[in-house]
């Protein structure tokens, strides 16, 4: 079974500064990887996903992530954050051979707080 570790529970960052959120996973098989964002009092929205192909994945709102198979990582980055990026971010992993969303595992989340 796979598992996900988000290394930072909270990341404070100044507006217009870059941010990186770290995600590591463990799995004995190929994986699908996802980043979701949760704004206050809302459900989760998909930021980006890696299913196959290019290891650099671009998502919505200027975010990107890089799949590194040798380091089993899928770190999320944004070169310049806005106040509106204040939210909780979740990394999730699913087995690449799975026939079900039921195997999706979420990390514990990283709270990003952007200040002026």
Partner 1 sequence: EAQVTQNPRYLITVTGKKLTVTCSQNMNHEYMSWYRQDPGLGLRQIYYSMNVEVTDKGDVPEGYKVSRKEKRNFPLILESPSPNQTSLYFCASSLLGAPRDNSPLHFGNGTRLTVT
Phi–psi pair at 95, nearest 5 degrees:
-60, 140
Coil, strand or helix at 54: coil
Please, which residue, 61 or 106, has the CB nearer to partner 1? 106
The answer to whether residue 54 forms part of the interface with partner 1 (CB under 8 A) is: no
Closest approach of Cβ 103 to partner 1, in Å? 9
Please, which residue, 101 or 116, has the CB nearer to partner 1? 101
Please, which residue, 54 or 116, has the CB nearer to partner 1? 54
Q: Which of 21, 27, 19 is nearest to 6 (CA)?
A: 21
Please, which residue, 32 or 63, has the CB nearer to partner 1? 32
The answer to whether residue 49 forms part of the interface with partner 1 (CB under 8 A) is: yes
Beta strands in 1-116 (DSSP E): 3-6, 10-14, 19-21, 23-26, 31-38, 44-50, 56-58, 64-68, 73-78, 87-95, 105-106, 110-115
Q: Could you list the residues that contact partner 1 (CB under 8 A)?
A: 4, 6, 9, 32, 34, 41-46, 49, 51, 90, 94, 96, 98-102, 104, 106-109
């Amino acid at each position: 079974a796979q598992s996900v570790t988000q290394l930072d529970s909270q990341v404070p960052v100044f507006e217009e500064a870059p941010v990186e959120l770290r995600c590591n996973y463990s799995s004995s098989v190929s994986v699908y990887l996802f980043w979701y964002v949760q704004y206050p009092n809302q459900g989760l929205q998909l930021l980006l996903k890696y299913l196959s192909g290019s290891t650099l994945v671009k998502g919505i709102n200027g975010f990107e992530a890089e799949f590194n198979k040798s380091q089993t990582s899928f770190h999320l980055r944004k070169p310049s954050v806005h106040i509106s990026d204040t939210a909780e971010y979740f990394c999730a992993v699913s087995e690449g051979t799975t026939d079900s969303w039921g195997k999706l595992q979420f990390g514990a989340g990283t709270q990003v707080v952007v200040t002026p």
